[in-house]
């Protein structure tokens, strides 16, 4: 359960189109953090132009301690693909790094790109957008979400590297 994976190796082992094991996200995400390679167990937030629950998530521990060691979590945010407001900025990104998150994937936008760019954290999103959200306490936590048409469920495993982003129900083991 370490960074010894590559997304290409995982796909080589799961080529059948009918395979439910591996779900590859469409290649529409840009990297905003320093880490281009990250993995972890999925926690989800579903929200629309309101990042109240993104803040709650990144301010909590981004890992699970197990008998086999510390396992990172990846926050997957279904922001409905909105490119009108940013769901994460420099402060929330810094909180995520401080709390040990493995990474964040947002079907939506981020802001404070320069601040995010120095964080040792995987951050993937559609685009940069300077306009912040309003915090109206709306959204859902840990529900199945569709990211760019692909189902991502809480407890799935997400693997991201220079070639793409994919999720699977079980952790990858070589």
Residues lying near ligand OAA in the complex (CB under 6 A): 51, 88-92, 111-112, 132-133
Closest contact distance (angstroms) between CB of 33 and ligand OAA is 13
Q: Is 164 annotated as a binding residue?
A: no
Residue 70 or 98: the one with the smaller Cβ distance to ligand OAA is 98
Could you tell me the two tokens for 49? 């132009």
d(CA 140, CA 110): 19
Q: Is 119 annotated as a binding residue?
A: no
Which of 77, 10, 65, 66 shows the shortest CA–CA distance to 37? 10
Burial class (CB in 10 A: 0-12, 13-18, 19+), 154: middle
Residue 55 or 153: the one with the smaller Cβ distance to ligand OAA is 55
Integer distance in angstroms from the first to the last C-alpha of the chain? 9
Residue 44 or 51: the one with the smaller Cβ distance to ligand OAA is 51
Q: Is 121 annotated as a binding residue?
A: no
Per 3-state DSSP, the chain is made up of helix, strand and coil in percentages (nearest 5) of: 15, 35, 50
Q: Is 124 annotated as a binding residue?
A: no
Closest contact distance (angstroms) between CB of 111 and ligand OAA is 6
Q: How far is CA 40 from the centre of its chain?
A: 9
Closest contact distance (angstroms) between CB of 35 and ligand OAA is 18
Q: Is 122 annotated as a binding residue?
A: no
Closest contact distance (angstroms) between CB of 89 and ligand OAA is 2
Residue with nearest beta carbon to ligand OAA = 89
Q: How far is CA 20 from the centre of its chain?
A: 20
Bridge partner list, 127:
109
Question: Which residues are known binding-site members for substrate?
Answer: 89-92, 111
């Amino acid at each position: 359960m370490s960074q010894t994976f590559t997304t290409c190796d995982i796909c080589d082992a799961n080529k059948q189109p009918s395979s439910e094991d591996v779900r590859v996200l469409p290649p529409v995400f840009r990297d905003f953090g320093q880490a281009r390679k990250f993995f972890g167990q999925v926690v989800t937030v579903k929200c629309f132009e309101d990042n109240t629950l993104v803040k709650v998530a990144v301010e909590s521990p981004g890992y699970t301690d197990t008998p086999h060691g510390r396992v990172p979590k990846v926050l997957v945010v279904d922001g409905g693909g909105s490119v009108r407001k940013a769901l994460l900025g420099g402060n929330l990104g810094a909180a995520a790094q401080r709390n040990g998150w493995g990474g964040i994937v947002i079907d939506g936008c981020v802001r404070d790109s320069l601040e995010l760019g120095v964080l040792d954290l995987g951050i993937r999103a559609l685009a940069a957008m300077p306009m912040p959200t309003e915090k109206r306490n709306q959204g859902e936590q840990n529900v199945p979400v569709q990211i760019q048409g692909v189902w991502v469920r809480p407890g799935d495993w997400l693997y991201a590297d220079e070639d793409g982003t994919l999720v699977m129900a079980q952790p990858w083991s070589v």
